[in-house]
Structure 1
């Protein structure tokens, strides 16, 4: 099986893990990454990643100009590759190239729908909505990394007339978690009612990650419930000038401790020591931090209708919260405390679907079903 990944955003993170694990399962692959002509990158990519400089930087503001150049290069790139399947890792930017390859060369493709596709392209770029729906209609399979992304797309942007057709070929395959986090997992926790409540968020400090509203929720609990709180924010500030004011606001709360980014071993210890992991981003595609927390038996509070919402029954391992409401976040923290031991004991048994072995098997099965269907149609 020969797969070409179209991934203009490929870096040595989750995408590398997907490809590396598929290699281990016997899938032959290359990654097509298209970038501007003047492109500087400090990342040392694997030799299966083909970086192609195909457009001017100003072209990125004009979808069709940028992608016409990328398409011409991609067609030439495919001449000696002969892939069985193309895997586009975003709907618009990458899916458009896969769709055009299908038109010209009849190569079947699968396409992933990500948060940016829904929150930026579908929401604001009205002139491209028809393009997105066309790409979905001609895809062999449509991949969502969470049930919430799928629900948001279908409820808001998919017309009734094609909904059943797209639903039939849609599947949810989550991101995988590094096996490191599955080693040496802890035992279910018990909460001492009189002890200090340790709340943890591991994410860059920025407005989207919404640490400020969490601070206000915790301050509310201190004032109304008399709870002694230690709020630990791990990650630091990626863009200090942009978020300087936000950083000062967070530091104004005396129960907040801001901690720089740390390695995986240190982060596990922090998660294990926390009572609750809270991350209520305004927009969240997935959020590996939630799953990392569950593996350490730490209950979670996550964003309603974003990220991992939909993977777990409400109240099974934590609760979803409205990111715009400090009172809702506060109430969900109280719910966690009221059901603490049950939530903590439920956490680890819910995480097997996020192992790389499970995720890789799902991708390989998906590819095989596409190939079988393509063979039956010839």
Structure 2
């Protein structure tokens, strides 16, 4: 089968969507399928990476409109003609903007189905594109329905996302398929010496408990809540490590400075995805206050590395973070404080959480299972 995966972003940044696409691509290729990626380059230059079969279209930075966003006018680019000549059997889009529009044109010309995965709940990101939350949610609904009507079917990663679409009046040809991870990637366990060496390189106190937050630093990730909570708790032996980058980083840095917490919180900046495992394993606990997740791949990556989780309760995480099994979900400061102390002070409980973390991922989030379910959808719609 010839499969075109279309995405506006495809790079080394810490991003659950990109991780999902790369996992799907790898699994489909291992099954013998011919897979190409259509994406946007980081500049105005269009080119093909023949080694990885990725078509990059020249693009413009429009991050002032939406963080990290790019836009392309390459609707008549010769590289698109090369895709038409290749004649994919199906297109699977992963973004709603430039590459979705181009994919639609390709699908129409070739009369092939276009499957769309809806990764982002835009109604939870209204602060980026609307001064009014009410108007922003209305626009998100209209925009999502427009994408749906231009797609053959939609894939969503969780029941939470499905319920949002149903609220919009979208309830046909929707498939819930949780994104999977390659378990081989997490088979390496780093020795204590390497973990301590990384701590030294980051100037982290060796005797402190390390809490880690991984992902894009946006307002919707609610990292500010974690900082406020840790300030209220006045823990002496805890250090928060924030891995990633994003538009809200400077705001958080100023907050940390105001609280005089520079010796308690560290930013690492952007870390390539294939280097993240040692960071997860170095940490004692993964923490998150986000309620904007559609699935939360960084949560699954943390568990796969044997690092338990303490996170804000969210419907999409009910099958991922299981209370009193591989971590806890909290709803208030009191719960956060109580569960944090329990996890870090009860060695027996913590050891069980570490073991259960890996078991829970192996049982529920295999990338092979994920790809097989996606393939079943492809086969259903190919003529």
Taking structure 1 as the reference length, what is the TM-score of the superposition? 0.71
Distance in 2, matches of 1:275 and 1:214, equals 16
Distance in 2, matches of 1:9 and 1:101, equals 19
- Say if 2:303 is the partner of 1:294: yes
Gapped runs of 5+ residues in structure 2? 13-17, 130-134, 192-206
Partner SS state of residue 148, structure 1 = helix
- Say if 2:26 is the partner of 1:20: yes
Equivalent residue for 2:55, pick from 50, 53, 60: 50
- Residue 286 and residue 197 in structure 1: after superposition, are their counterparts in 2 closer, same or farther (change >3 A)? farther
- Residue 264 and residue 104 in structure 1: after superposition, are their counterparts in 2 closer, same or farther (change >3 A)? closer
Distance in 1, matches of 2:274 and 2:35, equals 31
- Greater CA deviation, 135-144 or 234-243? 234-243
Distance in 2, matches of 1:259 and 1:34, equals 26
Equivalent residue for 2:186, pick from 166, 175, 181: 181
* Correspondence 1:63-142 to 2 at 5 A: 76=81, 78-115=83-120, 117-120=122-125, 124=136, 126=138, 129-130=141-142, 132-137=144-149, 139-142=151-154
Distance in 1, matches of 2:274 and 2:153, equals 37
- Aligned pairs, number: 345
Deviations 1:114-138 (A, max 9, x none): 1264534897274574453243245
Partner SS state of residue 347, structure 1 = helix
Gapped runs of 5+ residues in structure 1? 187-195
Distance in 2, matches of 1:118 and 1:18, equals 26
Higher alpha-carbon Rg: 1
State the match for 2:237 in structure 1.
229
Equivalent residue for 2:379, pick from 358, 368, 371: 368
- Displacement, 1:245? 1.1
Taking structure 2 as the reference length, what is the TM-score of the superposition? 0.70
- Displacement, 1:84? 0.9
- Residue 29 and residue 261 in structure 1: after superposition, are their counterparts in 2 closer, same or farther (change >3 A)? closer
State the match for 1:5 in structure 2.
5
Distance in 1, matches of 2:377 and 2:180, equals 15
Distance in 2, matches of 1:279 and 1:334, equals 16
Partner SS state of residue 83, structure 1 = coil
What CA RMSD, in Å, does the superposition of the two structures yield over aligned residues? 4.4
Contact kept? 1:276, 1:299, Cα under 8 Å: yes
Distance in 1, matches of 2:124 and 2:98, equals 14
Deviations 1:213-235 (A, max 9, x none): 2233234344xxxx653223143
Deviations 1:167-225 (A, max 9, x none): xx312231424623233499xxxxxxxxx872411436845344442233234344xxx
State the match for 1:318 in structure 2.
327
- Residue 248 and residue 125 in structure 1: after superposition, are their counterparts in 2 closer, same or farther (change >3 A)? same
State the match for 1:277 in structure 2.
286
